[in-house]
Amino acid sequence: MSSTRLAFALCGSFCTFKEAIPQMEQLKKRGYDIVPIMSQNASSTDTRFGTAKEFKEKIEQISEKKLINTIKEAEPLGPKNMCDAMVIAPCTGNTLAKLCNGITDTSVTMAAKSMLRVGKPVVIALASNDALGISAQNLGKILNYRNVYTVPMEQDDVIKKPNSLVADFTKIYDTMELALKGIQIRPLFI
C-alpha cells in the first residue's frame, strides 16, 4: 500500500471522465491519499457526459476531500509539500500547450507548475483530438521536460480522428509508480 499524497487533476476532456475517475478510485484503494483538482471549466460545465455537480460529488466522495478548482488553492501544493506527485487525467491539448509554454491560468496548470518548481513528478494522461496535428509540437516538447511523465497512449479512431491520441487510463498506476522512481514507462505509444 502506498502512502503517497497524490494531486489528481481533471481537465475538460469530458468524454474521458468515465475512464479517468475509476482510475482515481483505484489509486485511492491502493493507498494513495488523493487531493482532487479540476480546472474551472471542468468543474462548472454540464455536458452530455454528465453534470459538473455529479462529477464534483463523485470526486470528493472518492478522495474524501474538498475539490481544488482555483489558482489560489492550487498554488501551495508543491511549496508547502502538500503532495508528493501529480496526475493530470485527462490532460487536454489546451492544458498541454499551456504547460509547455509556462502559462498558469487555471487551477490545473498552477498545480502542475507548483509541483514542478519543487522537482516533483507530474504524470500526464493525454486526451486530445489534435495531438498529432498542430499540437504534436507540444507533445514533442513535454516528452523532454524533466519530472514530466506520460501515460502510454494510442490513436483512438484513425479513420474519423486521425490526429487524435488518448492515454490508456488503466496504465496511470504503473506510470505513477515508475515516475516516483524517476522512470518513464515504456512503450509510450501502444
User: What DSSP designation does 67 have?
Assistant: P
- Average pLDDT on 45-56 reads 94
The pTM of this model reads 0.96
- Average pLDDT on 110-130 reads 97
Where are the chain's structural domains? 5-179
At 76-87, the pLDDT tens digits run 999 999 999 999
CB 7 within 8 A of CB 179: no
CB 55 within 8 A of CB 24: no
CATH of the domain spanning 5-179: 3.40.50.1950
At 122-133, the pLDDT tens digits run 999 999 999 999
In what helix (H) or strand (E) does residue 95 lie, and over which residues does it extend? helix 93-100
